[in-house]
Structure 1
Amino acid sequence: MAAELHVELVAADRQVWSGEATLVVARTTSGDIGVMPGHQPLLGVLESGPVTIRTSDGETVVAAVHGGFISFADNKLSLLAEIAELADEIDAQRAERELERAKAEGDATAERRADVRLRAVSAR
């Protein structure tokens, strides 16, 4: 079994993160899944939620992901997201304001997106 896997996290408009990792945890329609080197091939649908990547050098990268697909084969993991942003790129105060505004307006989609962004920030 290989000691690491190659990860590509791509949003519709850009490559968000690429590198070597020892573990990736993501939320799919079937529940949370952890992928390590040597995992069985898989193809799944991503749910909105934080994605956690443990890099080969021991760092943790967290991203807020909103929909998309996950694919793994031959120690290559692809996360193809509709929207994705690294937790380090998220302005927590702005996300909190967006959450409050979405709640006040009854906008469930915006509320979910802001909630995921805040969970990603708190997980980093």
Structure 2
Amino acid sequence: MSTFLLEIVTPEHVVFSEQVDSLTVRGVEGELGILPHHIPLVTPLQVAPIVAKAGGKSTTIAVHGGFVEVQKDKVIVLAESAELPEEIDVDRAVAARERAERRLSAGKNQDRIDHRRAELALQRATTRIKVSGNAKLNKHH
């Protein structure tokens, strides 16, 4: 079975660096599946979970924006921030989601920048909750 190196890098550190069989990311134009020998490309990422598969095991990682770069034998995700499921503080993410939802519902006279900031905070919180939930679900199998 052919694999490729997946590196997920933030300004602070390398979050993930392993050989994987496949990768699923959500780019600006929709979901994208990457297998070994995929054509080289660079595309911006949405705030969404990405899923790496290796040897029948899936790892879901919360990625908050950035880019994916597909090279000949490796894929680099350059993310503003990224978290593995075990690094996520679920209670904090739920509180952040509630704050963002309150700001969005109260924000009739808000300026657009505040509104966009609240939308992004909501997306980040939702992504964290999804990824941490997947970790708990996967542990039972």
- Give the residue type in structure 2 aligned to 1:102: A
Q: Judging by fraction of residues, say which structure has more strand.
A: 1
Give distance in 2, aligned partners of 1:5 and 1:28.
19
Q: What residue is the counterpart of 2:108 in the other structure?
A: none
Q: 2:85 aligns with which of 84, 87, 111?
A: 87
Unaligned runs of 5+ in 2: 105-117, 136-141
Question: 1:86 Cα shift?
Answer: 0.9
Q: Percent identical across equivalent pairs? A: 32
Question: 1:58 Cα shift?
Answer: 2.7
Question: 1:46 Cα shift?
Answer: 0.9
Is 1:119 aligned to residue 117 of structure 2?
no
String of CA shifts for 1:72-99, please: whole Å, max 9, x gaps: 1212100000111112211222211111
Rg comparison, structure with higher value: 2
- Give the residue type in structure 2 aligned to 1:93: D
Q: Judging by fraction of residues, say which structure has more helix.
A: 2
TM-score (norm 1): 0.90
**What's the Cα RMSD here?**
1.4
Q: What residue is the counterpart of 2:22 in the other structure?
A: 23
- Give the residue type in structure 2 aligned to 1:117: R
Give distance in 2, aligned partners of 1:109 and 1:37.
32
| Greater shift in the superposed pair: 11-20 or 114-123 | 114-123
Mapping of residues 49-64 of structure 1, within 5 Å: 49-55=48-54, 57-64=55-62
